[in-house]
Amino acid sequence: MTRAPHTAPDPHPAAGPHRIAVLGAGVMGVGITALALGHGVPVLLVDLDEERLDRARDDIDRELRMAQLMGRLPAAADTRALHLATTTDGVGDATAVVEAITEIAELKAKALADISARVRPGTPLISNTSSIPIDELAGHAERPEDVAGTHFMNPPYLIPTVEVIRGARTGESTMAAVGALLDVLGRNQVVVRDAPGFVTSRVLHPMINDAARVVQEGTATAEAVDALMEGCLGHPTGPLRTADLIGIDNLVDSLRVLHQHTGDEGSRPCELLLDKVRQGQLGRKTGRGFYAYQEENR
């Protein structure tokens, strides 16, 4: 594992020739897009769902305003360099593509296969995934050496470190290009080897599953679990508030991948998490998960 030196984000970074395409206008796609725009990097945001894409501009505006109020992005950042599309026809000019679609291996593999046929050789294809092994996805691209992984935390503008995953076939030039892009975005990178769940999800997601199981069994409320984890163990938000921030559906998808690849029964999603997904209680993005959220704070 290597760790880049910590430096404060440059308020006026030299984005230079960077222009990225982001696939997926969900929570992470919107967050990564806002981060890039905030650092002067033009973005083509692609999503097949026209309704979701229509909402994306307002969501990105909201994230930019929040980040600017918190001093996390330059005050001049706006969405004038944002372009929206429902097809991948325009990705050929991108200097990097960030795939941030649903955490389902088949969908990500299909997206990478499509994109790798449209971009120039040597263009980094970055899968933003919380758990799916990168080499598994790279096998579907025309050039596996162009594929690397990232795991941005939510919200990307607030979390300064990004987990970067080097697959077995990821090339040196791809890793250098990913590092250069993260530098422009003011993020520190920690590079790890490829494995199911990498480091953060392999440690965090089974722990959240255990926390939900404690609530399911009636040992404690969600509030009590989080208060103890914060007050006694120093967890910054508590595992169940973190689940709401991740998105409980995304968490369940990640746990299923971990369970499938490792056989670890601790990663089998507990019934309470599955029940919340069935009820549409997915966390902050739907207004209710383990906690209820006001519309303006979502």
The question of whether 261 is a catalytic residue gets the answer no
Question: Can you tell me the distance from the alpha carbon of 26 to that of 4, in angstroms, rounded to the nearest whole number?
Answer: 28
For 106-114, which contacts have Cβ atoms below 8 Å and span 24 or more sequence positions? 108/132, 108/137, 109/136, 109/137, 109/139, 109/140, 110/140, 111/23, 112/137, 112/138, 112/140, 112/141, 112/147, 113/140, 113/141, 113/142, 114/88
Residues 6+ apart with CB under 8 A from 87: 46, 48
CA nearest neighbour of 32 among 90, 92, 101: 101
**CB half-sphere exposure, 3, CA atoms < 13 A:** 5
Encode 158-194: b = buried (16+ Cβ within 10 Å), e = exposed.
eebbbbbbbbebbbeebbebbbebbbbbbbbbbbbeb
- 3-state secondary structure at position 249: helix
221 and 193 in contact (C-beta within 8 Å)?
A: no
Residue 125 Cα distances to 23, 33, 79, 100, 109, angstroms:
11, 16, 23, 11, 11
- 3-state secondary structure at position 163: strand
Greatest CA separation found in the chain? 55
User: Which tokens belong to 193?
Assistant: 């080897």
* Given 18, 140, 151, 235, the catalytic residue: 151
Known catalytic residues? Answer: 151
